[in-house]
Amino acid sequence: MKNLPINSLELSGYRSFGEKAQRFEQFAKVNLFIGQNNCGKSNVLKYIHNHLSDIEPRVRLNSFDRHIGYTGEINYGYRVSAASYDTFITELLSPTHTEIHFQNQETLRRILIKKSYLDSSENGPWIQIKENHTYNLAPWIPAFGDIENQLLVNLWSALTKKSGGSRDQHWIPEILEKIHKPFPRFKSALIPAIREIGEQGSLSEDFSGNGIIERLAKLQNPSPDKQEDKRRFEKIGDFLKNVTGNSSAEIEIPYDRNTIVIHMDGKSLPLESLGSGIHEVIILAAAATVLSDHVICMEEPELHLNPLLQKKLVRYLQEETNNQYLIATHSAALMDADNAEIYHLQLQDGQTIIERVSSNQARSNICHDLGYHPSDLLQSNSIIWVEGPSDRIYLNWWIRHLDPGLIEGIHYSIMFYGGRLASHLSAEDIDASLLDLISLRHLNRRSAVVIDSDKTNPHSKINATKLRLKDEFTADFGSAWITSGREIENYIQPKYLRDAINTVHPSYSVASKMGKFENCLTVKSKKGQEIQASKVEIAKNITEQHEPDLNILDLRRQLETLISFIKESNPSDSLK
């Protein structure tokens, strides 16, 4: 996207925004608005989509839109970038190679610089616009204070092609009329936080998910004069491959249009069987790829997406689409997005306050505001990194059995590197997140990691990333555990697994031989269709119904090593 539709925004008097203007100093292609619930993130998106974009019919402001207790006007505005002064001045003043022309350029530059100073804005002055879309000229008047009359009349004459007049009645207000340009026009789409696939035949024009089947069907089978839409459908499929990390993933809309079919790993499944995370991917794919040259206002894309998928999504938006994105989020995982502008929104005394995030301290403030405390990472006596929630369930079960005195949250913390949808991540994704742990480990040297070997037979080799991580974690105070079998479930008694599968998935039968290198959670439907059983539900069932058997593979030895690590990381008086 060469030219961004919106480069900046000032807003005051609207809903949670009070009388004092709040400024988004600079927008990029991807912009993140991060903060707690009810801090004003959605209000920014609503104002931009409902009142600034080209949507028809335009939404009218009403009394409920005005900030409580505020009787003034709702104002908005944008910044004239200091980096573009030359372009801005050239567009206003037709270039001539005369001394007075260069003098006029310098006079206009002085006005812009002075207004920028008055605005306490290092990067250029702000143009304020009233709710009736007329300009608020008053804040500019002081910028003319030290401009001599002769310089002012020369500039005014060059801009208006007039002569005569007076300073206050003609020169200043008419120069300002030339300086002030309308807020850029743009097309927008709003993707709300509540997203689900609509019913068959639904034709909603928003991007909440209603009508998504019909939209995709039209792209899949376009009319002869819209064959370029076929490529758009393929791009949505590419998007699905990208965010799932699965090169075999494809989308198909069947003839009866009663569902969305996902083809993946040689299987064909209705979308709903893959979980709400894939729902999210499809809806976001449709909006991000079908639309072009839009400002897309997106609410909470992190719902049902683990941190890795969130990062892949933002990277895809950056690199593969042709829109500008304004994203309201609670996710601190997105703060490291490349080339994104990040703003921290807080509610103080009933008013939204904005801070541009440009330092590590500002990032730390966001984490605190969202409820991430230093003790979660920096001050925990010991941290155990695992791939997902099911690993945590088993680890706590085993640790309680061997040493009931050790308490999660006091003696150790368990954190995820794979996220709660790890089953949808590729091996490359897991490798990338494991490598991230190397840098995170510098924040707390008392860290251990539990890694699935992913071996499929006795002769399989453990990949280089996992071996490197093992070396990093065992170099000094840490600990590393690579599973002897394929994954953590291979440490569970086969009978426990079978019983749990029959309870959790009564309509499916066990399809695994439960060997050391088998995928123990493969189940088969009555029609012979194979899927993955729920890792978390199986883990909950087993740990609630059984006592652990620690004499499987190297489980006892690994647990004893891990418990020793936890104890060594804690003061002796805390273990009593």
Q: Which pLDDT score, from 0 to 100, does residue 434 have?
A: 59
Q: Which pLDDT score, from 0 to 100, does residue 540 have?
A: 93
Residue 528 and residue 367: Cα distance in Å, rounded? 47
* pLDDT per residue as tens digits for the range 506-537: 888 999 999 999 999 999 888 888 888 888 89
Confidence band, pLDDT 50/70/90 cuts, at residue 560: very high
Confidence band, pLDDT 50/70/90 cuts, at residue 330: confident
pLDDT higher than threshold 70 for residue 381: yes
pLDDT higher than threshold 60 for residue 168: yes
* pLDDT per residue as tens digits for the range 464-480: 888 888 888 887 778 89
The per-type count for the chain, helices as H runs and strands as E runs, is 16, 20
Please give the distance of CA 536 from its chain centroid, rounded to a whole number: 25
Q: Which pLDDT score, from 0 to 100, does residue 102 have?
A: 92
Omega before 192 within 30 of 0, i.e. cis? no
* pLDDT per residue as tens digits for the range 170-192: 999 999 999 998 898 999 999 88
Higher pLDDT, 24 or 292: 24
Burial of 422 (0-12, 13-18, 19+ CB in 10 A): buried
Q: Where are the extended beta strands (E) located within 322-382? A: 324-329, 341-348, 351-356
Q: Which of 115, 83, 89 has its CA nearest to residue 103?
A: 89
Cβ neighbours of residue 495 closer than 8 Å, sequence gap 6 or more: none
* pLDDT per residue as tens digits for the range 81-98: 988 898 999 999 987 778
> In 349-485, where does DSSP find H-type helix?
360-369, 389-402, 427-440, 464-473
* pLDDT mean over 61-67: 92
pLDDT higher than threshold 90 for residue 42: yes
* pLDDT mean over 392-398: 96
For the segment(s) 193-326, the CATH number from 3.40.50.300, 3.20.20.80, 3.40.50.261, 3.40.50.1820 is: 3.40.50.300
Confidence band, pLDDT 50/70/90 cuts, at residue 424: very low
Higher pLDDT, 121 or 277: 121
pLDDT higher than threshold 90 for residue 327: yes
pLDDT higher than threshold 50 for residue 422: no
At how many degrees (to 10) do helices 427-440 and 464-473 cross?
Answer: 20
Write down the pTM of the prediction: 0.67
Q: Range(s) for CATH 3.40.50.300 in the chain?
A: 193-326
Mean pLDDT of the chain: 85
